Amino acid sequence: MRNRSVAALLAFFVGGFGVHKFYLGENTTGILYLLFFWTLIPGLLALFDLVGLLLITDGAFNLKYNPGYLETSTSVHSLGSSQDKVATLAQLKQLYDTGIITAEEYEEKRRKYLDSL
């Protein structure tokens, strides 16, 4: 399971080389950072990544970077009330509306959650 604090520290110390992107599973972006580190542009982008990692909530981070987190966290509450289930779907929709997750990620996670009910 990926940790937001570790990703932020990697972005701060070695972000110009894209190490935090590799850690977060964004290998293509990490390779681009690595190829162009000498231009210092990846270093600047890593600062923006750092700010984003510091501002994102733990829940949003887990939904975006830890596949299966939603399913494991909700399976514990599967016997909970329907209000909890609606709240989980509402939170997922809010992440999509704010642009934290893409439409594809939203639909995939929503479908997996609904199938697990």
Enumerate residues 6+ apart whose C-beta is below 8 A from 84.
77
Mean pLDDT, residues 15-22 taken together = 96
Q: Which residue has the higher pLDDT, 8 or 112?
A: 8
Q: Which residue has the higher pLDDT, 43 or 97?
A: 43
Residue among 20, 54, 47 nearest 34 (CA): 20
Residue 78: per-residue pLDDT? 47
Angle between helices 58-65 and 103-116 (to 10 degrees): 90
